[in-house]
Amino acid sequence: MSTKPFSIAIHGGAGTILRSLLTPELEKEYNTALQNAVEAGYSVLKNNGSSLDAVEASVISLENFPLFNAGRGSVFNAKGEHEMDASIMFGKDLSCGAVTSVNHIKNPVSLARMAMEKSEHVFLGGAGAMEFAKAHNVLLETDEYFYTKLRYDQWQNVKDTETFQLDHSATEGKKFGTVGAVALDVYGNLAGATSTGGMTNKKFGRIGDSPVIGAGTYANNATCAISCTGHGELFIRSVVAYDISCLMEYKGLSLKEACDIVVHDKLVKIQGEGGLVAIDSKGNIELPFNSEGMYRASINTEGKLFVAIYGN
């Protein structure tokens, strides 16, 4: 095992996540899923693997867990379909890949990585992204795989209305369903990845911040790696992930200072609710959010595991 620092942080969404809304059984399920996902990425890092492999491994674990709004647990759009987005970025050379409005893809984060490595492009969408996926034999699943009763019932509540839902757990509050991971490997390389099923009952091919490089995901070895979860429109307007990197690069702020300004000041001023996971080149981790909770977990440079759901 290397003596050089390495660490990882993940999230499974932010929003109105209250103890009163989760049964002890459900809370345990979420905690176990978060721990499994962060450990999947950490084991890659521990064996001197790359941060890129680590964030992909963690996000795949989250996408495969049906209670998170990404991959298998993706919400239904207005047509009763699943429309998924994902992105990934490598801080060493700023290479990145993203896909939007894809369906039947088991692990959208892996398709985003494939777009980065096997295409000449950064961002692929819709039918073209699906054509690319099929050409590269990406793992596909049937509609049944993506069906969960929870998501279906949520869609039934707002179907045929002009309402779209940001929440994907309790109807009493907002829940921004995105998953993501950031990591630092022993080679000093940072990476970030984000994946989402979007909004329940979303229309017009709506795209949030998750697949938008600089808004929902960003990684640069000189500064930090970021993966966001929140009200996508506001995170796009604020270019959240890149803004944190810029504050570090141009103002010389620490990761914590930059995160605090963006999450607790800039976003709050425009009613931008949500949070993010962040890591810098020394392995420092920040997990800020301005909502009532955020599903989150991390393993720091000392190997200490942290898993949490609620705010303080």
- The tokens for 21 are 């809304």
Encode pLDDT of 10-61 as tens digits.
999 998 788 888 899 999 999 999 999 999 999 999 999 999 999 999 999 9
Would you place residue 76 in the very low, low, confident or very high pLDDT band (cuts 50, 70, 90)?
confident
- 217 catalytic per annotation: no
d(CA 166, CA 179): 14
Side chain identity, residue 149: K
Task: Examine the pLDDT at 148 and tell me if it is beyond 90.
Answer: no
Encode pLDDT of 100-130 as tens digits.
999 999 999 999 999 999 999 999 999 999 9
Encode pLDDT of 219-245 as tens digits.
999 999 999 999 999 999 999 999 999
Task: Give the pLDDT score at 164.
Answer: 63
d(CA 207, CA 222): 29
Task: Examine the pLDDT at 194 and tell me if it is beyond 50.
Answer: yes
Using an 8 Å Cβ cutoff, are 255 and 9 in contact?
no
SS3 assignment, position 89: strand
- Backbone dihedral angles phi then psi of residue 284, each to the nearest 5 degrees: -65, 140
d(CA 172, CA 197): 20
Task: Give the pLDDT score at 17.
Answer: 83
Chain position carrying tokens 């660490």: 7
267, HSE (Cβ side, Cα atoms, 13 Å): 31
d(CA 228, CA 249): 19
Stated as kind and residue range, the H or E segment containing 233 is: helix 232-238
Active-site option among 100, 178, 196, 229: 178
Task: Examine the pLDDT at 1 and tell me if it is beyond 60.
Answer: no
**Which domains are present in the chain?**
7-310 (3.60.20.30)
Task: Examine the pLDDT at 168 and tell me if it is beyond 80.
Answer: no
